[in-house]
Amino acid sequence: MLRIALSTLLPVISACSGALPTAPARLLSSTSAQRAGAELFTANCAICHGLRGDGHGWRQEAIAPPPANLTVPPWSERAYAARTFLAIRQGVAGSAMAAWPNLSDEQTWQLVAYIETLPPGR
């Protein structure tokens, strides 16, 4: 009986832990990916998050909750890259942070790579 229950549960558990995406090898440290991410960020994200990613975009006053400061942990941390990826892909329900399903996996990782390079803001 116990064995049946476990074999039913295990695939569910591994499916959950497998849900975090993995960055293509070396992409996050690639300067060309970071540069591409900077361009995507300026075009799509800076209006809310600010050109420096510190949350002080032109629209920050009008937004509640305010845009996240991406220059501080956890978003600036390599260990958090998969969650940063998912935040961009899926957005944050109940906030102005939309999902970005039209950005390819590569473009989304480029954004993550860029966010990791942001110098700490306030």
Least distance (Å) between residue 53 CB and ligand HEC: 8
Piece of 9-17, 21-29, 57-65 that binds ligand HEC (CB under 6 A): 57-65
Interface residue with ligand HEC, options 36, 49, 54, 113 (CB under 6 A): 49
Piece of 2-10, 16-24, 26-34, 84-92 that binds ligand HEC (CB under 6 A): 84-92
Number of residues that bind ligand HEC (CB under 6 A): 21
Give me the phi and psi of 57, to 5 degrees please.
-80, 170
Residues comprising the chain, all counted: 122
Interface residue with ligand HEC, options 51, 72, 82, 96 (CB under 6 A): 96
Least distance (Å) between residue 63 CB and ligand HEC: 5
* HSE value, Cβ hemisphere, 13 Å, CA-based, for 55: 16
Interface residue with ligand HEC, options 11, 24, 65, 120 (CB under 6 A): 65
HEC states along 19-77? CCCCCCCCHHHCHHHHHHHHHHHHHHCHHHHCCCCCCCCCCHHHCCCCCCCCCCCCCCC
Q: Which two tokens stand for residue 8?
A: 């039913």
- 75 contributes a contact to ligand HEC by CB under 6 A: yes
Interface residue with ligand HEC, options 23, 28, 111, 118 (CB under 6 A): 111
Tell me if 116 sits within 8 A of 82, measured CB to CB.
Answer: no
